[in-house]
Amino acid sequence: MSIHIEAKKGEIAETVLMPGDPLRAKWIAETFLENPVCYNRIRGMFGYTGTYKGKRVSVQGSGMGMPSAMIYFHELINDYGVKNIIRVGSAGSYQEHVKLNDVVLAMSASTTSGMNNSRFINSDYSPTANFELFQKAVNYAQANNIPIKAGNILSSDEFYGDNPEEYKLWAEYGVLCVEMETAGLYTIAAKYNVRALTILTISDSLVTDESLSAHDRQTTFHDMVEIALAAAIS
């Protein structure tokens, strides 16, 4: 048992899917896993372990933003021996060709966070996805005719920024979309030599001002989760 996760040793699989929303974790477990068992309810941050096609997989909510998510990443890796973390979440598009419900694989994560400043003084660290997980996700998507986008994304510390035009600079340099956790995940995974990948579904567009409903954000991300589970068990 750790400070924020009440699971006993062995109750969490070596591979964990991690949405920010704990209700999305519940939905994933109940929709995709066989015999899911809830191992965590502390702070309402649900965690489940079940099987998918005969392989043990866990699903754990992380909360929104890097400060919250990093707590769970750290404890899962250091207290429970997790080896693979696949973030599954929503994102806001920065590009006209990246549309609602598109699936995006994060090859790398730029960030507005100062999280790494204390680690790399006067330098920029560029956290990236694990190649093996990335390759497995791409292979599954292609084999199952699921269109994907892949590239650099932005992990932001702010959900509501002051300047609605700020995204255009990132877009000009090819950043596909924005979310709030991946730069932290890729950094801590590199530090502890575990594998990490982020798979996102576009829920909003800063280009067109379109957005999915709160209900759709929780329950309509089947393609993203299928790709994540395929990468998790292969």
Which ranges of the chain would DSSP assign to H, the alpha helix?
22-32, 66-80, 131-143, 167-172, 182-191, 214-219, 222-233
CA 188 to CA 208: how far, in whole Å?
34
Contact at 8 Å (CB) between 169 and 53? no
Give the pairing of strands 177-179 and 84-93: antiparallel
User: For the chain, what's the residue count?
Assistant: 234
Identify the DSSP state of 118: T
Q: What is the DSSP letter of 197?
A: E
Residue 44 near residue 60, CB atoms below 8 Å = no
**From 204, 209, 216, 223, the catalytic residue:** 204
* Distance between CA atoms of residues 185 and 8, nearest Å: 23
Q: Is 157 noted as a catalytic residue in this protein?
A: no
Q: Which residue matches tokens 């598009």? A: 93
Could you tell me which of 62, 48, 52, 83 has the C-alpha nearest to residue 19? 62
Sign of CA dihedral 169, 172, 175, 178: positive
Which residues participate in catalysis according to the annotation?
204
